[in-house]
Amino acid sequence: MANALFDAASQWLKAKGLDTMRGPVSPSMNDQCGMLVKGYDSPPVFLMLYNPPYYNNLALNAGHHVGQELLAWYIDQDKIDIRRLSRIARHVLKREQLTIRTINMKDFDNEVEKIRDIYNKAWEKNWGFVPFTDREFDFMAKSMKPVAKEHFIYFVEDKEGKPIGFSLTLPDMNVALKHVNGNPFTPWGLVKYLWYGRNISAFRTITMGVLPEYRNKGIDSILNAHISEYGGKHGLYSSEMSWVLKSNEAMSKLAKVIGGIPYKEYVIYEKEI
Protein backbone atom coordinates (compact mmCIF):
# COMPACT_ATOMS: atom_id res chain seq x y z
CA MET A 1 0.00 0.00 0.00
CA ALA A 2 2.77 2.47 0.95
CA ASN A 3 4.65 1.77 -2.29
CA ALA A 4 1.47 2.34 -4.27
CA LEU A 5 0.99 5.74 -2.61
CA PHE A 6 4.62 6.73 -3.26
CA ASP A 7 4.31 5.59 -6.88
CA ALA A 8 1.12 7.59 -7.39
CA ALA A 9 2.77 10.70 -5.93
CA SER A 10 5.88 10.29 -8.09
CA GLN A 11 3.81 9.87 -11.27
CA TRP A 12 1.80 13.01 -10.44
CA LEU A 13 5.01 15.00 -9.83
CA LYS A 14 6.64 13.66 -12.99
CA ALA A 15 3.63 14.77 -15.00
CA LYS A 16 4.18 18.27 -13.63
CA GLY A 17 7.74 18.25 -14.97
CA LEU A 18 9.49 17.62 -11.63
CA ASP A 19 12.36 15.20 -11.18
CA THR A 20 12.66 14.78 -7.39
CA MET A 21 10.37 13.85 -4.51
CA ARG A 22 11.14 15.45 -1.15
CA GLY A 23 9.34 15.19 2.17
CA PRO A 24 7.59 15.15 4.46
CA VAL A 25 7.23 18.92 4.16
CA SER A 26 3.77 20.27 4.84
CA PRO A 27 3.36 22.33 2.76
CA SER A 28 6.72 24.18 2.75
CA MET A 29 9.88 24.49 4.87
CA ASN A 30 8.08 27.25 6.77
CA ASP A 31 5.69 24.66 8.20
CA GLN A 32 5.89 21.22 9.78
CA CYS A 33 8.76 19.17 8.37
CA GLY A 34 10.53 15.86 8.73
CA MET A 35 9.86 12.28 9.73
CA LEU A 36 10.75 11.43 13.33
CA VAL A 37 13.60 8.89 13.53
CA LYS A 38 14.83 9.41 17.11
CA GLY A 39 13.16 10.52 20.32
CA TYR A 40 10.10 8.31 20.53
CA ASP A 41 10.46 8.20 24.32
CA SER A 42 9.44 11.88 24.52
CA PRO A 43 5.95 13.20 23.71
CA PRO A 44 5.40 15.29 20.58
CA VAL A 45 5.66 19.05 21.06
CA PHE A 46 3.27 21.69 19.70
CA LEU A 47 3.34 21.96 15.88
CA MET A 48 6.03 19.29 15.49
CA LEU A 49 5.38 16.10 13.51
CA TYR A 50 5.12 12.62 15.01
CA ASN A 51 5.03 9.23 13.32
CA PRO A 52 5.46 5.55 14.27
CA PRO A 53 9.02 4.18 13.81
CA TYR A 54 8.03 1.83 10.98
CA TYR A 55 7.20 4.77 8.70
CA ASN A 56 10.93 5.24 8.13
CA ASN A 57 11.31 1.71 6.78
CA LEU A 58 8.40 2.33 4.43
CA ALA A 59 10.19 5.34 2.96
CA LEU A 60 13.59 3.60 2.74
CA ASN A 61 12.13 0.45 1.21
CA ALA A 62 10.49 2.60 -1.47
CA GLY A 63 13.91 3.89 -2.54
CA HIS A 64 14.02 7.18 -0.67
CA HIS A 65 17.28 8.38 0.89
CA VAL A 66 18.15 10.97 3.54
CA GLY A 67 18.12 14.48 2.06
CA GLN A 68 18.38 16.57 5.22
CA GLU A 69 18.43 15.92 8.96
CA LEU A 70 16.70 18.14 11.50
CA LEU A 71 17.20 18.37 15.26
CA ALA A 72 15.02 19.32 18.21
CA TRP A 73 16.98 20.59 21.22
CA TYR A 74 15.74 20.14 24.79
CA ILE A 75 16.53 23.03 27.13
CA ASP A 76 16.34 22.39 30.88
CA GLN A 77 15.69 25.70 32.66
CA ASP A 78 17.70 24.59 35.72
CA LYS A 79 20.81 24.02 33.60
CA ILE A 80 20.90 27.47 32.02
CA ASP A 81 23.57 29.82 33.39
CA ILE A 82 21.21 32.78 33.42
CA ARG A 83 23.66 35.13 35.13
CA ARG A 84 26.28 34.53 32.45
CA LEU A 85 23.74 34.90 29.65
CA SER A 86 22.40 38.12 31.13
CA ARG A 87 25.89 39.54 31.52
CA ILE A 88 26.68 38.81 27.87
CA ALA A 89 23.34 40.29 26.78
CA ARG A 90 23.94 43.54 28.66
CA HIS A 91 27.41 43.82 27.12
CA VAL A 92 26.12 43.31 23.56
CA LEU A 93 23.23 45.74 24.05
CA LYS A 94 25.62 48.43 25.22
CA ARG A 95 28.33 47.74 22.63
CA GLU A 96 25.95 47.70 19.65
CA GLN A 97 23.64 50.43 21.01
CA LEU A 98 20.60 48.16 20.87
CA THR A 99 17.40 47.76 22.84
CA ILE A 100 15.08 44.80 23.38
CA ARG A 101 11.33 44.75 23.88
CA THR A 102 8.38 42.38 23.86
CA ILE A 103 5.75 42.32 21.14
CA ASN A 104 2.97 44.90 21.33
CA MET A 105 -0.14 42.73 21.18
CA LYS A 106 -2.33 45.83 20.67
CA ASP A 107 -0.48 46.48 17.39
CA PHE A 108 -0.34 42.81 16.43
CA ASP A 109 -0.74 43.15 12.65
CA ASN A 110 2.11 45.64 12.28
CA GLU A 111 4.32 43.66 14.64
CA VAL A 112 3.74 40.52 12.60
CA GLU A 113 4.78 42.35 9.43
CA LYS A 114 8.10 43.21 11.10
CA ILE A 115 8.64 39.54 11.95
CA ARG A 116 7.87 38.48 8.37
CA ASP A 117 10.31 41.02 6.95
CA ILE A 118 13.17 39.93 9.22
CA TYR A 119 12.39 36.24 8.75
CA ASN A 120 12.47 36.37 4.95
CA LYS A 121 15.78 38.26 4.95
CA ALA A 122 17.39 36.18 7.70
CA TRP A 123 16.47 32.78 6.26
CA GLU A 124 16.73 33.41 2.50
CA LYS A 125 20.01 31.47 2.10
CA ASN A 126 18.92 28.47 4.18
CA TRP A 127 18.44 25.09 2.53
CA GLY A 128 14.95 24.70 1.06
CA PHE A 129 13.87 28.23 1.97
CA VAL A 130 10.68 29.56 0.42
CA PRO A 131 9.72 33.15 1.35
CA PHE A 132 6.43 33.67 3.15
CA THR A 133 3.73 35.38 1.11
CA ASP A 134 1.63 38.03 2.85
CA ARG A 135 -1.45 35.79 2.92
CA GLU A 136 0.49 32.77 4.13
CA PHE A 137 2.15 34.66 6.97
CA ASP A 138 -1.08 36.41 7.98
CA PHE A 139 -2.85 33.06 8.20
CA MET A 140 -0.10 31.59 10.37
CA ALA A 141 -0.01 34.65 12.62
CA LYS A 142 -3.76 34.65 13.18
CA SER A 143 -3.75 30.94 14.02
CA MET A 144 -0.99 31.45 16.60
CA LYS A 145 -2.33 34.66 18.16
CA PRO A 146 -4.73 32.91 20.61
CA VAL A 147 -1.84 31.05 22.27
CA ALA A 148 0.86 33.73 21.93
CA LYS A 149 2.31 35.18 25.14
CA GLU A 150 3.67 38.73 25.15
CA HIS A 151 6.79 37.88 27.17
CA PHE A 152 7.92 35.18 24.76
CA ILE A 153 7.99 37.19 21.54
CA TYR A 154 10.91 39.62 21.47
CA PHE A 155 12.32 42.26 19.13
CA VAL A 156 15.86 43.63 19.19
CA GLU A 157 16.06 47.14 17.74
CA ASP A 158 18.92 49.40 16.65
CA LYS A 159 19.45 52.92 17.98
CA GLU A 160 16.95 54.29 15.42
CA GLY A 161 14.29 51.88 16.63
CA LYS A 162 14.48 49.61 13.58
CA PRO A 163 13.85 45.91 14.36
CA ILE A 164 16.94 43.88 13.47
CA GLY A 165 16.14 40.56 15.17
CA PHE A 166 13.30 38.63 16.79
CA SER A 167 12.47 35.38 18.55
CA LEU A 168 9.14 33.55 18.63
CA THR A 169 8.35 31.16 21.46
CA LEU A 170 4.95 29.59 22.18
CA PRO A 171 3.51 27.46 25.00
CA ASP A 172 3.54 23.72 24.31
CA MET A 173 -0.23 23.43 23.85
CA ASN A 174 0.15 19.66 23.41
CA VAL A 175 0.29 19.55 27.21
CA ALA A 176 -3.37 20.57 27.23
CA LEU A 177 -4.39 18.81 24.01
CA LYS A 178 -3.34 15.37 25.28
CA HIS A 179 -6.04 15.61 27.98
CA VAL A 180 -8.73 15.87 25.29
CA ASN A 181 -7.25 13.38 22.82
CA GLY A 182 -6.29 16.24 20.54
CA ASN A 183 -9.86 17.47 20.11
CA PRO A 184 -10.99 20.39 22.28
CA PHE A 185 -14.11 20.97 20.17
CA THR A 186 -16.50 19.00 22.35
CA PRO A 187 -18.50 20.39 25.29
CA TRP A 188 -16.32 18.89 28.00
CA GLY A 189 -13.26 18.87 25.77
CA LEU A 190 -13.17 22.65 25.61
CA VAL A 191 -13.52 22.91 29.39
CA LYS A 192 -10.63 20.47 29.93
CA TYR A 193 -8.49 22.18 27.30
CA LEU A 194 -8.92 25.60 28.91
CA TRP A 195 -8.31 24.15 32.37
CA TYR A 196 -5.07 22.36 31.50
CA GLY A 197 -3.96 25.21 29.27
CA ARG A 198 -3.90 27.75 32.09
CA ASN A 199 -0.47 27.05 33.54
CA ILE A 200 1.67 25.35 30.91
CA SER A 201 5.30 25.34 32.02
CA ALA A 202 6.89 23.94 28.85
CA PHE A 203 7.48 26.04 25.75
CA ARG A 204 8.84 25.77 22.22
CA THR A 205 11.06 28.33 20.51
CA ILE A 206 9.78 28.04 16.96
CA THR A 207 12.01 30.49 15.18
CA MET A 208 14.58 33.20 15.64
CA GLY A 209 15.95 35.58 13.03
CA VAL A 210 18.63 38.27 12.80
CA LEU A 211 19.23 40.49 9.78
CA PRO A 212 22.35 39.33 7.86
CA GLU A 213 24.31 42.52 8.55
CA TYR A 214 23.91 41.99 12.32
CA ARG A 215 24.98 38.34 12.47
CA ASN A 216 27.89 37.19 14.65
CA LYS A 217 27.40 40.14 16.99
CA GLY A 218 25.74 38.26 19.85
CA ILE A 219 22.14 39.28 19.06
CA ASP A 220 20.96 35.71 19.66
CA SER A 221 22.45 35.87 23.17
CA ILE A 222 20.26 38.88 23.95
CA LEU A 223 17.13 37.02 22.87
CA ASN A 224 18.00 33.82 24.74
CA ALA A 225 18.90 35.74 27.89
CA HIS A 226 15.53 37.45 28.10
CA ILE A 227 13.57 34.26 27.38
CA SER A 228 15.56 32.44 30.07
CA GLU A 229 15.24 35.25 32.61
CA TYR A 230 11.47 35.35 32.25
CA GLY A 231 11.23 31.57 32.38
CA GLY A 232 13.32 31.39 35.54
CA LYS A 233 11.16 33.96 37.32
CA HIS A 234 7.87 32.31 36.40
CA GLY A 235 8.47 28.62 37.09
CA LEU A 236 8.92 27.38 33.54
CA TYR A 237 10.89 24.15 33.58
CA SER A 238 11.75 23.43 29.95
CA SER A 239 11.65 24.49 26.33
CA GLU A 240 12.30 22.92 22.97
CA MET A 241 14.27 24.68 20.24
CA SER A 242 13.00 23.24 16.99
CA TRP A 243 13.53 22.59 14.32
CA VAL A 244 17.22 23.17 13.50
CA LEU A 245 19.10 21.81 10.47
CA LYS A 246 21.71 19.33 11.69
CA SER A 247 24.18 21.03 9.35
CA ASN A 248 23.54 24.44 10.94
CA GLU A 249 26.58 24.57 13.22
CA ALA A 250 25.88 28.13 14.40
CA MET A 251 22.44 27.27 15.78
CA SER A 252 23.68 24.02 17.30
CA LYS A 253 26.45 25.96 19.05
CA LEU A 254 23.88 28.43 20.34
CA ALA A 255 21.74 25.60 21.73
CA LYS A 256 24.73 24.01 23.45
CA VAL A 257 25.71 27.31 25.09
CA ILE A 258 22.42 27.35 26.98
CA GLY A 259 22.67 23.68 27.96
CA GLY A 260 20.64 22.21 25.12
CA ILE A 261 20.57 18.49 24.32
CA PRO A 262 19.64 17.19 20.83
CA TYR A 263 16.97 14.75 21.95
CA LYS A 264 14.94 14.27 18.77
CA GLU A 265 15.94 13.80 15.15
CA TYR A 266 13.91 14.11 11.98
CA VAL A 267 14.66 13.27 8.35
CA ILE A 268 13.53 14.83 5.10
CA TYR A 269 13.73 12.11 2.47
CA GLU A 270 14.50 12.52 -1.22
CA LYS A 271 14.11 10.35 -4.30
CA GLU A 272 14.78 11.03 -7.95
CA ILE A 273 11.82 10.22 -10.22
The pLDDT value recorded for residue 205 is 92
With contact defined as beta carbons under 8 Å apart, do 242 and 204 qualify? yes
Q: Is the pLDDT of residue 9 over 80?
A: yes
pLDDT confidence of residue 231: 83
Strongest mean pLDDT among 54-68, 230-244, 251-265: 54-68
- Is the Cβ–Cβ distance between 121 and 211 less than 8 Å? yes
DSSP 222: H
Average pLDDT (42-62) is: 94
pLDDT tens, position by position, 139-184: 888 888 888 888 889 999 999 999 999 999 999 999 989 888 888 8
Would you list the domain boundaries of the chain?
A: 2-71, 75-260
What's residue 166's pLDDT? 96
Reported confidence tier of residue 13, pLDDT bands at 50, 70, 90? very high
What's the average model confidence in pLDDT over 121-129?
Answer: 85
At 70, which helix (H) or strand (E)? strand 65-76
* Over residues 210-230, mean pLDDT: 91
pLDDT of 183:
86
Q: Which of 9-13, 16-20, 81-85, 229-233 is predicted with the least confidence, judged by mean pLDDT?
A: 229-233
CA dihedral 49, 137, 120, 162 (to 10 degrees): -130
Alpha-carbon distance of 262 to 45, in angstroms, equals: 14
Q: Measured in whole angstroms, how far is the alpha carbon of residue 21 from the centre of its chain? A: 24
Separation of alpha carbons 149 and 170, rounded Å: 7
pLDDT level of residue 102 (50, 70, 90 thresholds): very high
Fold of the domain built from segment(s) 75-260 = Aminopeptidase (3.40.630)
